[in-house]
Amino acid sequence: MPVENKVDPFKPQAPAIPGVPAATEKPDRGAPEAPASEPTNFEQGGTQDAWSKMIGVIVGIGVVLVAGFMLLRPGHNSGAKSGVNLPTATQAPAAPTEPKSEPAEKLLTGPGPVATVAELSKPWSSREFLFRGTLTPDPVPAMVVRLPGGELWGFSLREPFGECELQYITDLKVLAANYGFQAQHPMVVNPCTRAVYDLAQYGGGAPNGGLVRGEIVQGSAVRPPMAIEMRTSGRDIVAVRGE
């Protein structure tokens, strides 16, 4: 049987032209395949961006909490940092205080040298020391004062026939505020009985019935402070003996 030439009506044949080679038909490969899809930006970094945003939010909240704690903590003075003067409670002025005695470990002990002439060169200058008397085995606090006339006067700081320790006050405002006494020069006081002694005057009370320096000018007391004899030996001031 003769072979039939089948013709596809949808694919017209090119005419055969003498001397021109026939065109080779390319195989039908069909529609081009779509390239493999690449991961989108969301698929690549979406999860990482979400975690980054969440961490940023947590860090921001932490910073706010720490700043609030620093502002609210006790003793925080925001006005000092910001330059704003915050109102403060008005404090009453402190009342005058009485001078404190020197530590016992720094004091010299008599009888013997207890001070130097240079230390007591000015009127009403003073020096504390310890003195061991014949009737007291333990040393008691004592003091020597340079009086305006140049005389040295020593006396025991132990209250006569008592246990209270006397004080030498040079601040006249303290005398006026704490003892209600208007003085023109330093005084010796008894903080227990509120008595005031004037070393510029003599008062009665010596064992032999004589006068002793330190008259009682205010308050009640048995007698003036117990006297201690003082002498100058070269550059030293020496405590000799007590009453």
Give pLDDT, residue 207. 75
The structural domains of the chain, ordered by start, are 104-242 (2.102.10.10)
Nearest to 189 by CA among 96, 119, 120: 96
Give pLDDT, residue 84. 46
Give pLDDT, residue 7. 53
Q: To 10 degrees, the CA torsion angle through 59, 62, 63, 67?
A: 180
Give pLDDT, residue 83. 47
Specify whether the CB–CB gap between 205 and 222 falls below 8 A. yes
pTM exceeding the 0.85 threshold for the entire prediction: no
Nearest to 240 by CA among 152, 158, 149, 161: 152
Give pLDDT, residue 54. 73
| Per-residue pLDDT tens listing for the chain (243 residues) | 554 555 555 555 555 556 655 555 454 555 455 545 455 444 455 556 666 667 776 767 777 676 666 666 554 544 444 444 544 445 555 555 555 555 555 888 878 999 999 999 999 999 999 998 776 678 899 999 999 989 999 999 999 888 899 999 999 999 999 999 999 999 999 999 999 999 999 988 777 778 889 999 999 888 999 999 999 999 999 999 888
Give pLDDT, residue 69. 63
Residue 175 φ then ψ, to 5°: -60, -40
Give pLDDT, residue 240. 92
Give pLDDT, residue 65. 73
